[in-house]
Structure 1
Amino acid sequence: MKESAGARIFTVCNYLVLGVIGLITLFPLYYVFVVSFTDPHEYSERNGFILFPAEWSLAAYRYLFSTSAFLNAAGVSAFLATAGTALSLIVTSAIAFGLSRKRLRGRQFILVAIVLTLLFNPGFIPPYLVVRELGLINSVWSLIVPVLTSGWYVILMKSFFDNIPVELEEAAMIDGSTDIGTFFRIVLPLSAPALAAFGLFYAVGYWNTFFNAVLYINDYAKVPLQIVLRNMLVDSSTSTGGATAVEMVADQQIPTQTIKMAAVVISTLPILCVYPFLQKHFTKGVMLGSVKG
């Protein structure tokens, strides 16, 4: 079919509008990236606003990776994103798989209890009291245990498990497999789209942990990367000793702004690198429960 003049004009305008929106969205990311790699002397001479540096430098990154506070925080965030995501996927999928099987006693009661957690928020005090009674205050596990699973994710994953034929489970049981063996050897391998989708959600949540760290962590050596980044952006603090970034880099002549931008790039890059590997599964997983037939 031949497009009319009005349709062509609409298509052109549509591309122009979307292009402008895309540039507006990507420019801050581009600026942060460019400033983080700009040579310190060039940044100082050009009064900070740089669209393309004449000389690239890794000075800001070398400085960040030479500070113990930043390396400790990066290690904590990496532990949260890996261990926390793995544990959350196991717990969420185990609960969802059990609820998807009608032979589970008290199944309806558990489902109602999970739905109630979505409708009523207990606030901040009850979770804090639970964490304190468990002795997890000032422990890295306090950033994992309270958010180990999500009622919403359990319900969505349950809808995925509902579509897995029960005959597969029955065939495995005839061959002598236990429920746990069937879960790990048959159900989880068939659930790659769901695991990829929720794994990405959990990983982003753990990597961006901030508020729970403010509540439960008092030792600066155990805070995640987002706390250090916040201190750098707001308080210009990059060490446990209270020295400011300006004081610490005065001898090295590294502008504080380039260090901040480098920290932002480092804190954002891991999730951006993981997403392409999960994309083929993620596009399927996000549609969980949308169609049943």
Structure 2
Amino acid sequence: MLSKMTVGERLFQLVLVAFISLMCAAMMYPFIHVLALSLSSYEESLRPGIHLYPRGWSLDAYKRTFASGDIFIAMGNSVFRTVVGTALSIFAMALGAYPLSKKYLPHRAFYTTFIVFTMFFSGGLIPSYLLIKALGLMDSRWVLIIPTLFSTFTMFIMRNFFMSIPAELEESARMDGANDVRILLTIIMPLSKPILATVALWTAVAHWNAWFDALLYISDHYKMVLQLYLRKLIIENQEQAMQTIMLQTTGDSRPTPETIKAAVLMIATVPIVIVYPFLQKYFVKGIMVGSLKG
């Protein structure tokens, strides 16, 4: 391939590869730095500068972090929110996307315009808070799931993908006596794995990283999510929380607050990174088909 390229094309390819390599290195450096810092010993973690590899290998920061029961509570709440919220969101958006994908739906243009309107205008933070309070969802795990159950943009991506499925499949199913619910569950959903995996990844990442709604609506310590716990350690820098973790065990090799912060960051990042490879093969196909079909 390179032998058939002109000098200008080869130069362009070289510059492109160099640019992408630099971008990848710039994006990977923070992750590598935090990982190396979390695995470094007490003395090495105090040294300033770039950490590209662990110095004086130590798992003490992870041991001290897991010694606190708060992180298990927060992680369990985040896992519950991510799994249940993602599953319910996909089901709810599929129920909205399927009828809107049918041209024979009465008043389809009106419903589409009405739903699109919500993408540009919203009630705002204060009305949303008052609504949540009036519904009795304050300090409930469902307050982290129900208000975020439906994403208009994502629903339209799913609708466009459903429109790309041949109508003949549905017609043959109707001839066999299948209703709309059965067609959706047994034909449309199985054929829509690319877009469902893509939407699942978007929704799961959003739920896993979310913390602001938990900050507003959750006051119970045992319903705190992992990202809120992470925020207390890093942004607010609560010394009492740091000391509680560091005093769980005794010993001379106490980790620094920075290594504990790095360890918690890795604990919060790794789970969602592990999920991505399992959905990657569907990701590009789901995005392309779901966005191009009008």
TM-score, length basis structure 2: 0.89
Tell which deviates more after alignment, 243-252 or 173-182. Answer: 243-252
How much does 1:172 deviate? Answer: 1.7
- Contact kept, 8 Å, 2:65 with 2:71, in 1: the verdict is yes
Secondary structure in 2 matching 1:104: coil
Which amino acid in structure 2 is aligned with residue 245 of structure 1? M
Pairing 1:69-88 to 2, within 5 Å after superposition: 69-88=70-89
SS in 2 for 1:164: coil
Give 1:249's aligned residue. Answer: 246
CA distance in 1, matches of 2:245, 2:196: 43
Instruction: State, as a whole percentage, how many aligned pairs show the same letter.
Output: 39
Partner SS, residue 243 of structure 1? helix
1:20 to 7, 19, 22: 22
Q: Pick closer, same or farther for the CA change 1:106–1:131 going to 2, 3 Å.
A: farther
Matched residue count: 288
In 2, the alpha carbon distance for the partners of 1:94 and 1:66 equals: 44
Partner Cα separation in structure 1 for residue 13 and residue 188 of structure 2: 46
Runs of 4+ displaced beyond 6 Å: none
Q: Could you tell me how far 1:103 is from its partner in structure 2? A: 4.1
Tell me by how many angstroms 1:20 deviates. 2.7
User: Is this contact kept in 2: 1:157–1:288, CA < 8 A?
Assistant: no
Residue 112 of structure 1 deviates from its aligned partner by 1.5
Aligned partner of 1:32 in structure 2 is 34
TM-score of the pair, normalised by structure 1: 0.90
Residue ranges of structure 2 left out of the alignment (5+ in a row): none
The RMSD of aligned alpha carbons is 2.2
Structure-2 separation of matches of 1:175 and 1:47 = 71
Return the alpha-carbon distance in structure 2 between the equivalents of residues 179 and 98 of structure 1: 9
* Equivalent pair of 1:136/1:142 in contact (CA under 8 Å): yes
Rounded Cα–Cα distance in structure 2 between residues aligned with 1:97 and 1:11: 43
CA shift at 1:6, angstroms? 4.3
Residue in 2 aligned with 1:169? 170
2:141 is aligned to 140
How many angstroms does 1:48 deviate by? 7.4
Aligned twin of 1:112: 113
CA shift, 1:54, in A, is 4.2
Matched, 1:272 2:269: no
Which range moved further: 88-97 or 159-168? 159-168
* 2-structure distance, mates of 1:3, 1:103: 52
Cα gap change, 1:17 to 1:249, in 2 (>3 Å): same
Instruction: Output one character per residue of 1:264-292: Cα deviation in whole Å (capped at 9) or x when no partner.
Output: 11111112111111111111011134434
Give the 3 Å change call, closer, same or farther, for CA 115–74 of structure 1 in structure 2: same
Aligned partners of 1:77 and 1:224 also within 8 Å: yes
| One-letter code aligned to 2:22 | V
Gaps of 5+ in 1: none
